[in-house]
Amino acid sequence: MESFSLDCQQLQEYQPNRYPFLMIDHVEDVLPGKYARGFKNLTLNEWYFPVHFPGGPNMPGALQLEAMAQMLTVAITTLPDLKGKVTHALEHHVRFRQEVKPGNRLDIDAQVISWRRGICKGKAVGTVQGITVCEAEMTITIPEILETFLPKKA
């Protein structure tokens, strides 16, 4: 399988989140089941900047994590037969290192560590101008697949 890119319209075929919760703009390179790399451009028009915070706008950490999770999702939903599947978070460990501000481009490199039986373990690093601003280890799932492996509740 070869890698490819997805523009802001194409990536929505693989990522079910929509405004105001779509946190990635472009996927520059995705190798299904392996990695996805792309970015989010931040302008002062982002909906959260007026409130986070007045006079000191910066991207909420929870949304940085969401952006990394969405990029990891694309690395999985580009696999055969998974286009547009809904994913859920199971477990995340995240570290924030620097504020992400209006005018920044948040580059995200998401790597799949494992994908099996509806569960993806992965990691991602967010950078701005080459400087790491956030990083996370994440476990996400496609519930529709995971549920087919679970015992009936006792």
Partner 1 sequence: MTNKEKYAQVFVETFEVEPNVLDENFVYQCIPAWDSLGHMSMVAALEDTFDIVMDTEDIIDFSSYTVGMEKLKKYGVEF
Per CB under 8 A, residues contacting partner 1 are: 90-91, 116-119, 139, 141, 146-154
Instruction: Tell me if residue 93 is catalytic.
Output: no
Within the chain, where are the H helices?
A: 61-77, 143-146
In the complex with partner 1, the residue whose CB is nearer, 39 or 115, is 115
- Shortest separation between residue 127's beta carbon and partner 1, angstroms: 29
Task: Give the SS3 label for residue 49.
Answer: coil
Residue with tokens 């520059």: 28
- Shortest separation between residue 136's beta carbon and partner 1, angstroms: 17
- Shortest separation between residue 28's beta carbon and partner 1, angstroms: 31
| Nearest one of 78, 88, 79 to 140, comparing CA atoms | 88
Strand (E) positions, 33-118? 35-41, 88-96, 105-116
In the complex with partner 1, the residue whose CB is nearer, 79 or 125, is 79
Indicate which residue of 52, 88, 92, 93 is catalytic: 52
Is the backbone of residue 45 left (phi > 0), alpha (psi -120 to 50) or beta? alpha
Active site residues: 52
